[in-house]
């Protein structure tokens, strides 16, 4: 399959695949992911636990462990020169990409923070390294919902939600053109969830690009321009957000939305397949109320552009 990446994109991913080799099995964590993300776009990547969202983000930043094999292409545009993220090598990624051109709000910030430094020290150091005034620390922290006094605490003194907000502040301090925010609202109460989402939205409105990884479909609905739904390592639907929330087309996406408390509140029956034993056909077919014989073969997904759905019998096309 040939894939193309729009050059107007800030980030162009084509056919990205990540496999982990275990002693007795291979984990297909990300399979054939192609995505183009435009400057100023807020893309929400959603899907159940274990579907490959964080691995996708880590692959882009060269943060995968040694047992990972990554294939495909991912090109970051927008700077002086495009960077081939998968081919760049650790030196280039560490010096010019991570933190500078691509920020990361990690999924478990409490473990990612340096334990012997206060939030103020960490934030001031990040600002200094990136040529910003150390005195901006309180303003950057306030944007992320932290009070000045919170900055004087050490990481072990922070609640989960405070660590989360500090991680967001640290990722935003260098003002990266692309932010990968991996569950940035976990552990926050509703008001802080909304404030964090609005902060991300505001960044996009000012021209930055955000990939928001989240379980929280209500969060995606609040701020996303586009939505990519992952299931069992693949993107199964990629649509502009308004159309997606009004009428998802993949039966899995439909079921995810119907599981929301303010919709049918109906859990999806069954479980996702093991990523070590993915079926040859559609991975959702065993749980799908619309499955038919044809679903024994794997449905394709158009290589690029939102409006894509990987389903033989998408909602709205067949009875
Ligand atoms: N180093 C590793 N070795 C083997 N398997 C791994 C490794 N890291 C991740 N995986 C597997 O890859 C799959 C995708 O993991 P990932 O963390 O991307 O899921 P996720 O969609 O982010 O889930 P969650 O919503 O729970 O954060 C999982 O099955 C996970 O167990
Ligand atoms: Ni994750």
Question: What is the residue with the minimal CA distance to atom 20 of ligand 1?
Answer: 50
Answer whether residue 3 is part of any domain.
no
Say whether both 167 and 69 belong to one domain: no
Ligand at shortest distance from the CA of 105: 2
Answer whether residue 5 is part of any domain.
no
What does the pLDDT read at residue 318?
53
The arithmetic mean of pLDDT across residues 22-31, rounded, is: 97
Residue 83 CA to residue 193 CA, distance in Å, equals 33
Torsion on CA atoms 182, 188, 194, 197, rounded to nearest 10: -20
pLDDT in tens, 271-303: 999 999 999 999 999 999 999 999 999 999 998
> What's the 47 CA to ligand 1 centre distance in angstroms?
12
pLDDT in tens, 102-155: 999 999 888 888 889 999 999 999 999 999 888 899 999 999 999 999 999 999
pLDDT in tens, 200-246: 999 999 999 999 999 999 999 999 999 999 999 999 999 999 999 99
Does the pLDDT of residue 260 top 80, yes or no?
A: yes
Residue 84 CA to residue 116 CA, distance in Å, equals 35
Answer whether residue 302 is part of any domain.
yes
Q: Which residue has the higher pLDDT, 65 or 112?
A: 65
> What's the 210 CA to ligand 2 centre distance in angstroms?
16
Q: Which CA distances in Å does 309 have to 62, 183, 184, 284, 313?
A: 28, 24, 27, 13, 10
Closest to 74 measured CA to CA, from 101, 51, 46, 40: 101
Q: Taking the alpha carbons of 265, 268, 270, 276 in that order, is the dihedral positive or negative?
A: negative
What does the pLDDT read at residue 1?
44
Does the pLDDT of residue 82 top 80, yes or no?
A: yes
Give the chain's mean pLDDT: 94
Does the pLDDT of residue 180 top 60, yes or no?
A: yes
Ligand at shortest distance from the CA of 106: 2
Q: Taking the alpha carbons of 40, 306, 84, 42 in that order, is the dihedral positive or negative?
A: positive
Query: Is the distance from CB of 118 to CB of 156 less than 8 angstroms?
Result: no
Say whether both 77 and 149 belong to one domain: no
Ligand at shortest distance from the CA of 50: 1
Say whether both 119 and 62 belong to one domain: no
Q: Which residue has the higher pLDDT, 179 or 3?
A: 179
> Looking at the 3D structure of the chain, how many domains does it have?
2
307: number of Cβ within 10 Å = 13
Phi-psi region of 228 (alpha: psi -120 to 50; beta: other; left: phi over 0): beta
| Helix spans in 53-159 (H) | 53-60, 90-92, 109-112, 119-129, 137-143
Does the pLDDT of residue 305 top 90, yes or no?
A: no
Confidence (pTM):
0.95
Does the pLDDT of residue 2 top 90, yes or no?
A: no
What does the pLDDT read at residue 4?
47
Query: Is the distance from CB of 78 to CB of 8 less than 8 angstroms?
Result: no
> What's the 233 CA to ligand 2 centre distance in angstroms?
12
Answer whether residue 317 is part of any domain.
no
Q: Ligand 1 pocket test: which of 16, 33, 55, 60 has the largest number of ligand atoms within 8 Å of its C-beta?
A: 55
CATH number for 61: 3.40.50.300
Say whether both 94 and 241 belong to one domain: yes
> What's the 162 CA to ligand 2 centre distance in angstroms?
19
Say whether both 144 and 41 belong to one domain: no
Answer whether residue 26 is part of any domain.
yes
Residue 210 CA to residue 103 CA, distance in Å, equals 9
Say whether both 204 and 288 belong to one domain: yes
Closest to 275 measured CA to CA, from 228, 234, 236, 310: 234
> What's the 168 CA to ligand 1 centre distance in angstroms?
22
The arithmetic mean of pLDDT across residues 53-57, rounded, is: 98
Task: Report which DSSP code applies to 98.
Answer: B
Residues less than 5 Å from ion ligand 2, measured at CB:
53-54, 107
- Regarding an ipTM greater than 0.85, the answer is yes
Task: Report which DSSP code applies to 295.
Answer: G
Say whether both 21 and 132 belong to one domain: no
The range of the structural domain enclosing residue 76 comes to: 11-101+176-309
| Helix spans in 41-112 (H) | 53-60, 90-92, 109-112
The arithmetic mean of pLDDT across residues 65-91, rounded, is: 95
Q: Taking the alpha carbons of 246, 251, 254, 256 in that order, is the dihedral positive or negative?
A: negative
Question: What is the residue with the minimal CA distance to atom 10 of ligand 1?
Answer: 29
The arithmetic mean of pLDDT across residues 166-177, rounded, is: 95
């Amino acid at each position: 399959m040939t894939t193309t990446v729009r050059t107007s994109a800030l980030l162009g991913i084509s056919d990205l695949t990540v496999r982990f080799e275990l002693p007795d099995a291979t984990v297909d964590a990300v399979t054939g992911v192609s995505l183009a993300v435009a400057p100023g776009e807020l893309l929400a990547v959603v899907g159940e636990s274990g579907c490959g969202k964080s691995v996708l983000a880590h692959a882009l930043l060269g943060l995968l462990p040694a047992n990972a094999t990554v294939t495909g292409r991912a090109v970051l545009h927008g700077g002086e020169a495009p960077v081939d993220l998968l081919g760049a090598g650790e030196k280039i990624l560490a010096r010019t990409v991570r933190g500078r051109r691509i920020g990361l709000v990690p999924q478990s910030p409490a473990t990612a923070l340096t334990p012997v430094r206060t939030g103020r020290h960490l934030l001031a150091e990040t600002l200094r390294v990136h040529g910003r005034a150390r005195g901006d620390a309180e303003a950057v922290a306030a944007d992320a919902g932290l009070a000045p006094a919170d900055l004087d605490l050490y990481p072990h003194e922070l609640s989960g939600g405070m660590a989360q907000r500090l991680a967001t502040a640290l990722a935003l301090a260098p003002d990266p053109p692309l932010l990968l925010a991996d569950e940035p609202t976990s552990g926050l109460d509703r008001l802080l969830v909304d404030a964090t989402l609005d902060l991300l939205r505001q960044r996009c409105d000012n021209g930055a690009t955000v990939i928001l990884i989240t379980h929280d479909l209500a969060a995606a609905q609040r701020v996303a321009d586009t939505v990519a739904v992952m299931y069992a390592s693949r993107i199964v639907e990629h649509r502009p957000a308004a159309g997606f929330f009004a009428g998802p087309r993949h039966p899995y996406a439909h079921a995810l939305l119907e599981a929301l408390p303010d919709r049918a509140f109906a859990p999806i029956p069954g479980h996702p397949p093991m990523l070590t034993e993915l079926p040859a056909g559609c991975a959702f077919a065993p749980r799908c109320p619309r499955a038919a014989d044809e679903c024994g073969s794997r449905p394709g997904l158009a290589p690029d552009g939102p409006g894509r759905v990987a389903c033989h019998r998408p909602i709205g096309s067949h009875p």
